Structure 1
Amino acid sequence: MRLAETVTFGGSGLDRAAHLRGDKTEMARRLATGRVLPLWRGKPLLADAGTLGWLEAGHPALAHGRAPVFLGCDAGQDCFAQDISDWTPEAGAEAVEHGFFDASEQRHPALPATWVFAELRGVMAALTPRAAELAATARAILHWHRSHGFCATCGAASDMAMAGWQRSCPACGAQHFPRTDPVVIMLVTHGNRVLLGRSGGWPEGMYSCLAGFVEPGETIEAAVRREVLEEAGVRIGPVRYLASQPWPFPASLMIGCAAEALSTDITLDPAELEDALWLGREEVLQSFNGEHPQIRPARKGSIAHFLLWNWLADRLD
């Protein structure tokens, strides 16, 4: 797919400068002259809806921060991310990471009143490709450190290493690296119709492409066929890759595929989906335009939205 890398979080070409990660002296020097993006419980700091809020190292807002992680180099600037989740805002903390989407915003007293910590999914489509990649990388790697503080081999507390791209166990010497979970997401079509589903807990009327995790020992194509059959009872024939999207909620790589359905009868697995249906192009276009009486589209910025929009525009080549 020629437009594959125009998906949100993809294609900015960030120089991650991995060769510098093992040089602690160089990292310290670059941190002193670089910039830091703070995240609070997975929410990046925003100077406005389309601009990340970068700070200098040592800024008072970073006082509760953990060790910074090196993200890479952007136009000559060294970029770092820092988790300040130990800071407790005066209000708004209780809503974080609960429900489908956290619309609350948090403000730090050491920052301008217009600067906020906000849910990345709510602003991702407004960010530039480079800002989106930096924010997604920061969210994913900092979440990994928050959830993998102990050695999976012996259980001892592990230490951050390689500028944040590794954790090392001082007890047994094991080395641990950030994980990314592969997820297939399918644009399933039959003629001029597309198969969409919805999970319980989603906003009313929202439908999206079917998706599921790739299992050990499974190819992408096999995962597509298995997931669609399990969730909707629809058998799949040819499968082809379209595009991928890093999805740091918390640590997935969405692998977008086109899949041709061999059957259209839906047998729903209620443990997986609340509903599934076939929609024609006109109905999908209506939902995108906010004109469908029942169906709402996938969130703008998601790969599901990207695939469906390009399917409508006949740009899946």
Structure 2
Amino acid sequence: MSLPDRFAHEVLADDPHDRSAHRRRDDAWLEERWADAATRVLVMAGPRVRPVSGEIAWVSPQEAPAGVRVFLGEQRDRAWFAVVADDPAALIGDDERAWMPLRGVLPLLAGEGSAEAPLVFHAFGIAEWLSATVHCPRCGGRLEARAAGHELVCLDCGRPQFPRTDPAVIMIVTAGEPGTPEERCLLGRQSVWPAGWFSTLAGFCEPGETLEDAVRREVAEETGVRVGEVEYFGNQPWPLPASLMLGFVGRASSEQIDVDRDEIEEARWFTRAQLREQAEAGEVRLPGGVSISRALIEHWYGGPLPGEWR
């Protein structure tokens, strides 16, 4: 078995765009870029896009509908925008199945599409925030988009709103002597998932909590397993709808499973041999290759595994 030089979730972040935040209030410069034939725009009906021929569809500014112009930044000598349509229902029309949320287009961001992945993640994060933030949380007043879509200002009380990113921990928990055939990893499944779907555990960091303690609390709450040592693994932007997934490897200090039956329906310990055998048989299916969850599992396993969620 051998691990890739870089996991898929890392490849997605290989070519980050220059967000050029200092340009977001430069209206003259933004208009100049908007008029440039080289500029590309991602059309969004709320937090949904319409792929064309299995690819993310970028269009010229002239082809974009009316909506909030979101300046994403600069990359490869051109400007990139998203337009969040003023009337997403009219844009979708009778073609609802063709418009996909981020989870649906994640497979399109692998391979050749990975160069645009940071732009797409940026666009989805802002589109989700604009769609969800309809009224001022202080006074309920009207909001107006400014700073090229990165700020909402209440027209009644003047309070500004900014996009949020919520820290979430995602972890693979191990038990047994490391590197031996008896070493095990802990995976769980939610009741709403199809039979056989398993993943690493995850949860949101609470106020006043360290990331390591969030790992320990979430694992204990969901499975009853206690975790001692926690080691940082990596991270992945995850705008579903507004998270940053922070990956960890935790070492169990207890192994008795007692699932909460609320978030987690089932949790199991797997040796490497068991995980491989059940994945090959299709009895266990693991998260997609672009997710940090998959990377955590294959990092522990020591190589690629077959089968993924569809």
Band of TM-score, shorter chain: 0.7 to 0.9
Q: By how many angstroms is 1:90 displaced? A: 4.8
Q: Please give the residue correspondences for 1:92-241 in structure 2 after superposition, counting only pairs within 5 Å.
A: 92-93=95-96, 104-106=97-99, 119-126=104-111, 128-191=113-176, 192-241=183-232
Q: Which amino acid aligns with 1:15?
A: D
2:286 pairs with 1:297: yes
Residues 182-216 of structure 1: CA distance to partner in whole angstroms, max 9, x if unpaired?
11001111122110001111122100000001101
Q: Please give the residue correspondences for 1:275-294 in structure 2 after superposition, counting only pairs within 5 Å.
A: 275-287=266-278, 290-294=279-283
Match of 2:90 among 87, 92, 98: 87
Q: Secondary structure of the residue that 1:188 maps to in structure 2?
A: strand
Aligned residue number for residue 56 of structure 1: 60
Residues 136-171 of structure 1: CA distance to partner in whole angstroms, max 9, x if unpaired?
111111110111122112211111111111111122
Moved more, 185-194 or 225-234: 185-194
Q: Normalization by structure 2: what TM-score?
A: 0.86
Q: Say if 1:118 and 1:298 are closer, same or farther in 2 by CA, change over 3 A.
A: closer
2:232 pairs with 1:258: no
Q: Which amino acid aligns with 1:152?
A: P
Q: Percent identity?
A: 35
In the alignment, the residues of structure 2 paired with residue 244 and residue 184 of structure 1 have an alpha-carbon distance, to the nearest angstrom, of 9
Q: Secondary structure of the residue that 2:234 maps to in structure 1?
A: strand
Q: By how many angstroms is 1:278 displaced? A: 0.5
Q: Normalization by structure 1: what TM-score?
A: 0.84
Q: CA RMSD in A?
A: 2.4
2:33 pairs with 1:30: yes
Q: By how many angstroms is 1:86 displaced? A: 3.4
Q: How many matched pairs?
A: 290
Residues 261-296 of structure 1: CA distance to partner in whole angstroms, max 9, x if unpaired?
011110110012010000111233345xx5135211
Q: Is the 8 A contact 1:187 1:259 kept in 2?
A: yes
Q: Say if 1:40 and 1:127 are closer, same or farther in 2 by CA, change over 3 A.
A: farther
Q: Secondary structure of the residue that 1:237 maps to in structure 2?
A: strand
Aligned residue number for residue 10 of structure 1: 13
Moved over 6 A (4+): none
Unaligned runs of at least 5 residues, structure 2: 177-182, 305-310
Aligned residue number for residue 97 of structure 1: none
